[in-house]
Amino acid sequence: MKITVHTLSADPVTVLRRLGYAFQRKEGAEMSFIRPLAQAGFPRFHCYAKVEGFGLIISFHLDQKKETYGDTTRHHGEYEAEGPLKEEADRLIGLLGPSARITG
């Protein structure tokens, strides 16, 4: 799921921290943030933020549990715009203001 914010009020790290997300790491032009929903760390919302022009693109999903490794890597994430993910999108848009829109 993606949210586009056309006008930022502060730098992306500050904006996402105000929304309850913790900075994780920077990978090229994208920054990774998480918002755990339980003390154990999972489930958690995980987002990648990227500055584009004067705005911000936030791509996020819900990690149900830690990824598993072995013969294959399995990512236990939810990407559909329903349930907790839709609720989080609505919460973010409400806090980000009128320049924020769901774009994907």
Q: What averages of pLDDT result for each successive group of 10 residues across the chain (104 residues)?
A: 91 95 95 93 94 93 74 61 89 95 90
pTM of the model: 0.86
SS3 at position 40: coil
**What domains appear along the chain, each with residue ranges and CATH number?**
2-102 (3.30.310)
Report CA-CA distances (Å) from 78 to 17, 87, 90.
22, 13, 16
What is the β-pairing status of strands 44-52 and 55-63?
Answer: antiparallel
How far is the C-alpha of 45 from the C-alpha of 37, rounded, in Å? 8
Count Cα atoms within 13 angstroms, Cβ side, for 86: 4
- Please give the Cα distance from 19 to 76 (Å, whole number): 23
